[in-house]
Amino acid sequence: MKFVLAGQPNSGKSTIFNSVAGYRSATANFPGSSVSFTITRALILGREVEVVDLPGIYSLTSSREAAGEAESYLLDEDYDLIIDVMDASRLGRSLELTLQLLELERPMIVALNMMDEAVRSGIEVDAEDLAQELGVPVVPTVGRRGSGLRDLFRGALRQAHCGEASRSLELDRKVEEAVGRVRELLAESEFENTVPPRFVAEKLIERDPHFERDVYSARPELEAQVLGVAEGLQEFHGWSSDQVVSGSRHAVAHRIEEKVVTMHPPQVGWREWADRLLLHPLTGGPLMVLILGALFWFVFRVGQRLEVPLLALTDRLALALATQFPPDTFVGAIAGGALTGIAGGVALVLPYLVPFLLGLAVLEDTGYLPRMAYILDNFMHRIGLHGKSVLPLILGYGCSVPAIMSARILESRRDRRITAVLASFIPCSARTIVIFGLVAAYMGPVWALFIYLFNLILVVILGNVLARTMKGASPGLILEIPELRLPHPKTMVAKTWMTLKEFIIIAWPLLVASSVVLGFLEWAHAANSVNGLLSPLTVTILGLPAAVGMTLIFGILRKELTLVMLVQALGTTQLNTVMTDGQLLTFTLFVVFYVPCVATIAVMGRELGWKDTAWVTTFSLLVAVVVGIAGRFAYALFA
Amino acid sequence: MGYDPILEGVSPMMALDTVDVKRRARVILIDGGHRVRAHLNTLGIHIGDWLTVVERAPFRGPVLVEVNGSRLALGRGIASKIKVEIEGSIESLSTPPREAEAEQR
């Protein structure tokens, strides 16, 4: 049995999904945070059910350039039931999608979610009346607190069992006439599709390009006749046919809303006050700087508190191991490598990664990110983008992979391309670890801040250049600002754990294995040849020790590796004893910019195509070299 | 933008980006392509809808509006394409004319 969660962006699908799946689907308080669907198997009342979490969609029209994954899933795939997640606090708008989902004529149940927010905004929804109107069961839920979810899934099972399909609601009389006429035409020409004929007819009248292509390529003779019907509708109403249909759906949604909703005066709480400050023309900007500054400070302080004692501990261990098995023996080299890998993860990576991920989770869950998009819209216009691009760029500070994927929330292809490229240049958490572990730890936090600012300036310049050279229209900012929420400790921990688990399962073994390989290569004196090969770059151009050559190769796998490998390659955790401050700075600058990691390259290839990816990769290497040289000589001159 | 300044003075129609904070206004025209209109529709802005300007960012930044219970940030470019009429005069904001939205087509 298979259930599909469908609903508008930020209506809480992923939260409901996670309640049955454990924490599998990334949630955040901004519209469009799920970009691809996640499937889980769950045991519901003793039955095994597959649950699919689709990305949010505002409607079933393919008005977006990228015809949504969610849409084609709903239309073409095989499943037993739709769980339509409606946002009770935005009932009218949610209803418009619900009406379209009803037209799919599949078994359906409505989760009337965010009941708590609705109550706060003074909206009282009568779930029974709503069920009456829609002809499908409606269960009030608060996904974040888990209330109503048992009833929801119990109802879902029952509904899927009796298998009764939903029925479309009646629209405006003229629209119904037109739909009926096109259905007749479709039936006459014996056109068959996985989608109910009514739905096809409606889409053809709305002139949906996707359906027009499908139908007219199979039955070209229909085109003129259907267009005739659409034009008739257009003439009668004086609006384009798609507006007539959507307008009529809007009217039905509105009628239902009027019937089931009772309005009370809204509660003006701390959310309203916080928003007034956060979005105020005078206080909004300074508060944003303050919030981001606090995040930076938090990561640095917590990281340092943990790093120093952990490093001391691992150093003692390494010393004990070295006396037992000298590093020039085979066993010593391998064991030393393994220990460096393990210790590097514990002492260098985790101290900064954990507070960083927690901080990012707070920004995501409170809903501050869309507010940043609002405040920074102006600034983003200077780069040639608009506020919405802020979301992928901020996510880029976490990891480039989801950041590039989230560029999909942008409507135009041009904006998507530019944003994805820029996001890959933002220092991700792996690069942050290098920045904190080398520059902040040995040279002080001001220098780390300087690298971030310098990176930001370069990103702005690059954005400007790209925006000027790339053609295509940008529609500008249209973004929903969701209500502020207090971060939920459980979600925070779960979210941090999800990313951390990825580090522990994938990156850490890689770290240990690479460390062992490097230990072996050094024992066999093979590392020198690779280092020698790279020495024109590392030694001549950048003025670094030759031993860093190997670390840069490993760094393409995962950027954190450069830091841990550096420890292994130079044979000490006190890196400032073997590298000067200038070298640390040059090395870090180079690592921040050079070649995205393998995972990023893969996702960029998928999202942008391999030509763009190859270009970005080469370009980033070039930038890294230039920046590295600049860092080397600037530091020598001024510091 | 192509407006007769004299005519604009008399006409009650104005662009959304020129509406003052806390004013209620009613959408009468969306001057944009099919895609922009469709996107605004799905986010809850239709012709005939009432909206309130909650905040305006400085230096031609975006406009924050409240419409049908949700808040939307609209870039100035888009906001200038949404033509609205202002609600009567300085009326109390606590009387939401919900019936007005019911008008169809």
| Identity at B86, one-letter amino acid code | I
Q: A94 and A8 in contact (C-beta within 8 Å)?
A: yes
- pLDDT at residue number A23: 63
Inter-chain residue contact B74 with A478, CB threshold 8 Å = yes
A-B CB pairs within 8 A amount to 137
- For B100, the closest chain A residue by CA position comes to A254
Integer Cα distance of B68 and A89 in angstroms = 9
Do A424 and A562 touch, CB atoms closer than 8 A? no
Beta carbons of B64 and A481 less than 8 Å apart: yes
Return the closest-CA partner of residue A629 out of A549, A541, A552: A541
Which of A260, A372, A377 to mutate: most B Cβ within 10 Å? A377
Mean pLDDT across the stretch B67-85? 88
Contact status, residue A369 vs residue A399, Cβ threshold 8 Å: no
**How many CB atoms sit inside 10 A of residue A237's CB?**
18
Mean pLDDT by 10-residue block, N- to C-terminus, for chain A (639 residues)? Answer: 89 85 66 71 82 84 57 86 93 90 93 90 91 94 88 91 85 90 88 85 86 86 88 84 84 92 83 89 92 87 86 85 83 84 81 85 88 90 85 85 81 87 91 90 91 93 89 79 86 84 80 83 82 89 90 84 84 84 93 88 86 93 94 86
Q: A63 and B42 in contact by Cβ < 8 A?
A: yes
Structural domains in chain B, sorted by start: 5-85 (2.30.30.90)
Contacts of residue A96 in chain B, CB cutoff 8 Å?
42
Sign of CA dihedral A121, A126, A130, A133: negative
Give the residue-averaged pLDDT of B62-84: 89
For residue B83, the SS3 value is strand
Check CB contact under 8 Å for B43 and A246: no
Residue B40's SS3 state is: helix
Contact between A436 and A299 (Cβ < 8 Å): yes
Q: What is the pLDDT of residue A446?
A: 92
Nearest chain B residue (CA) to A281: B57
pLDDT at B101: 42
Contacts of B105 in chain A (CB under 8 A): 172, 237, 239, 244, 247-248, 251
- Classified as helix, coil or strand, A595 is coil
| Structural domains of chain A, with CATH | 2-162 (3.40.50.300), 173-263 (1.10.287.1770), 284-473+489-638 (no CATH)
Residue A396: its pLDDT value, please? 87
Decide: helix, strand or coil at residue A116: helix
The CA distance from A196 to A1, in Å, is 21
Tell me, letter by letter, the H, E, C secondary structure of A119-171.
HHCCEEECHHHHHHHHCCCEEECECCCCECHHHHHHHHHHHHHHCCCCCCCCC
- Taking contacts as CB-CB distances below 8 angstroms, the residues of chain B near A123 are 69
Whether the CB-CB separation of A452 and A427 falls below 8 Å is answered with yes
Question: In the 8-state DSSP scheme, what is residue B95?
Answer: -
Angle (CA) A458 A461 A465, round 5°:
135
Test A92 with B76 for CB contact under 8 angstroms: no
Which residues partner with A47 through β-bridges? A44
Chain B residue numbers with beta carbons less than 8 Å from the beta carbon of A240 are 34
Residue B88 has pLDDT above 80, yes or no: no
From chain A, the residues in CB contact with B81 under 8 A are none
What residues have CB less than 8 Å from A150, skipping those under 6 apart? Answer: none
Task: Pull the structure tokens for residue A420.
Answer: 């994805």
A101 by DSSP, 3-state: which?
Answer: helix
- Return the pLDDT at A448: 93
Contact B61, B43 (CB under 8 A): no
> How close, in Å, is residue A29 to chain B by CA atoms?
14
Does residue A58 contact residue A99 with C-beta atoms inside 8 Å? Answer: no
pLDDT at residue number A25: 66
Coil vs helix vs strand at B51: strand
* Residues of chain B neighbouring A263 (CB-CB closer than 8 A): 96, 98
